[in-house]
């Protein structure tokens, strides 16, 4: 486009939009860093296209693609306003946009859990969702309710996850977090039974095979929580071993990073400064 002769105004406007669409398409076939790089490229082209004016009839599509690629390239805060605008421009894609908005409100340094819950509710209201898509939304809802400290609602939400579903590990992880919370409340109150809660959580997680995880992040989350729980039962050796393994096996996940930090903090507290620095 534009190689044979200078481009007309409409062609100039179309070029960054087309390049953004191509980058978005290519990103969908990639994983990890390669996908994130292409998402950033798509967001760059589509931002330029928005400034120039999306091609006629492509305004709604342009907003959806721009919001999606801003979010998936790590610019969640910027994506929110674009996704909200896209919601008004492309009501036929409301379910997808509500899912992205729930995630975008969560994936920020200061998450807005109430906004995330609102969009999650709208997403789950779509009766056309596949069972897997619905369960993904249910698990996300339980996380939001846990963060809002609505623990009873979180428990009720998890009851909607079938025992043999593809999200068994994620549901077990949330139930284990609820048990961990109950244990900490008992410990803070000086009441007996905290260690029993931690051990129940460990048993719950150990009963689910790692292969049940639908993502690396889920497997890493479960491994990190296991390490934390073992420390809380007083089994420092097993807990540290689990945390080190988590940090080494899943270094690019949030849980892998957090596990490494917790190893360093444990070493610092026990005056093993060289080990803490290494971790």
> What gap in Å lies between CA 12 and CA 2, rounded to an integer?
9
Give the predicted TM-score (pTM) of the model. Answer: 0.88
Q: Mean pLDDT of residues grouped by 10 in the chain (279 residues)?
A: 73 90 95 90 97 94 98 97 97 97 96 98 97 95 98 96 84 96 96 96 89 79 96 96 96 94 96 94
Confidence at residue 7, expressed as pLDDT on a 0 to 100 scale: 77
Using only C-alpha atoms, what is the Rg of the chain? 22
Confidence at residue 209, expressed as pLDDT on a 0 to 100 scale: 77
DSSP code per residue over the chain: --SSSPPPHHHHHHHHHHHHHHHHHHHTT--HHHHHHHHHHHHHHHHHHHHH-PPTT-HHHHHHHHHHHHHHTT-HHHHHHHHHHHHHH-GGGHHHHHHHHHHHHHSSSS--HHHHHHHHHHHHT-TT--HHHHHHHHHHHHHHHHHTT-HHHHHHHHTTS-TTSTTHHHHHHHHHHHHHHHHHHHHHTT-TTHHHHHHHHHHHHHTS-GGG-SSHHHHHHHHHHHHHHHHHTT-HHHHHHHHHHHHHH-TTSHHHHHHHHHHHHHHHHTT-HHHHHH-
> What gap in Å lies between CA 91 and CA 95, rounded to an integer?
9
Confidence at residue 210, expressed as pLDDT on a 0 to 100 scale: 65
| Ramachandran assignment for 83, one of left (phi > 0), alpha (psi -120 to 50 degrees), beta (any other) | alpha
8 A C-beta contact, residue 239 and residue 265? no
> What gap in Å lies between CA 63 and CA 239, rounded to an integer?
46
Q: To which residue do tokens 């589509």 refer?
A: 46
Which residues are CB-neighbours of 163 under 8 A, at least 6 positions away? none
- Distance from first CA to last CA of the chain, Å, rounded? 52
């Amino acid at each position: 486009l534009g190689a044979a002769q200078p481009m007309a105004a409409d062609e100039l406007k179309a070029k960054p939009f087309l390049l953004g669409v191509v980058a978005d398409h290519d990103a969908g076939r990639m994983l990890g860093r390669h996908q994130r790089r292409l998402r950033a490229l798509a967001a760059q082209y589509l931002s330029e296209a928005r400034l120039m004016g999306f091609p006629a009839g492509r305004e709604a599509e342009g907003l959806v693609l721009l919001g999606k690629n801003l979010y998936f390239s790590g610019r969640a805060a910027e994506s929110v306003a674009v996704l909200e605008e896209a919601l008004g421009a492309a009501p036929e894609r409301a379910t997808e946009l509500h899912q992205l908005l729930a995630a975008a409100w969560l994936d920020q340094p200061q998450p807005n859990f109430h906004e995330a819950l609102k969009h999650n509710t709208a997403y789950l209201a779509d009766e056309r969702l596949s069972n897997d898509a619905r369960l993904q939304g249910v698990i996300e809802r339980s996380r939001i309710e846990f963060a809002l400290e609505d623990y009873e609602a979180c428990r009720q939400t998890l009851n909607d996850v079938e025992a043999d579903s593809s999200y068994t590990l994620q549901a077990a992880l949330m139930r284990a977090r609820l048990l961990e919370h109950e244990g900490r409340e008992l410990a803070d109150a000086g009441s007996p039974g905290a260690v029993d809660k931690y051990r129940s959580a460990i048993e719950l997680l150990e009963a689910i095979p790692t292969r049940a995880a639908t993502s690396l992040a889920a497997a890493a989350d479960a491994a990190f929580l296991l390490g934390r729980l073992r420390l809380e039962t007083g089994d420092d050796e097993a807990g540290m071993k689990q945390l080190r393994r988590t940090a080494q096996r899943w270094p690019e996940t949030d849980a892998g990073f957090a596990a490494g930090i917790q190893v360093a903090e444990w070493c610092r507290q026990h005056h093993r400064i060289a080990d803490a620095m290494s971790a």
